[in-house]
């Protein structure tokens, strides 16, 4: 008796992955700014100094690709939904202070 007679092969179905869901660490976070990486790091520092938890999200691994062209290197600054208004006010205050100087 051969192996194929003992154990008939069933076809193996490999499904395509579905659309990615929102990672658990990003649930409840909203976007407050889109900018270049250097500006995003400064904004994150400002928010964290004010006690606002901040995530930076990008489609580009900046440690591997330090240079980007156009919107390819855009970084999204995310904060908890309940802190979004305060974060936007901080950014607005900086813009107003900078324009009046």
Is residue 11 in a domain?
no
Q: Is the dihedral of CA 26, 27, 31, 32 positive or negative?
A: negative
- Can you give the pLDDT at residue 98? 77
- What is the domain range of residue 79? 26-100
Write down the residue that tokens 């909203």 correspond to: 30
3-class state of residue 99 by DSSP: helix
Q: Tell me the mean pLDDT in the region 73-99.
A: 91
- Can you give the pLDDT at residue 4? 56
Is residue 6 in a domain?
no
pLDDT above 70: residue 25: no
Q: What is the CATH number of the domain that holds 68?
A: 3.30.70
Q: Tell me the mean pLDDT in the region 14-38.
A: 77
Is residue 33 in a domain?
yes
């Amino acid at each position: 008796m051969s192996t194929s007679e003992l154990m008939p092969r069933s076809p193996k179905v490999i499904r395509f992955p579905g659309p990615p869901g929102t990672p658990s660490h990003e649930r409840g976070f909203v976007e407050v700014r889109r900018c270049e990486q250097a500006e995003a790091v400064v904004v994150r520092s400002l928010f964290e100094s004010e006690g606002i938890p901040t995530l930076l999200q990008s489609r580009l691994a900046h440690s591997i690709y330090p240079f980007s062209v156009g919107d390819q290197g855009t970084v999204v600054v995310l904060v908890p939904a309940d802190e979004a208004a305060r974060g936007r006010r901080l950014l607005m205050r900086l813009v107003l202070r900078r324009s009046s100087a």
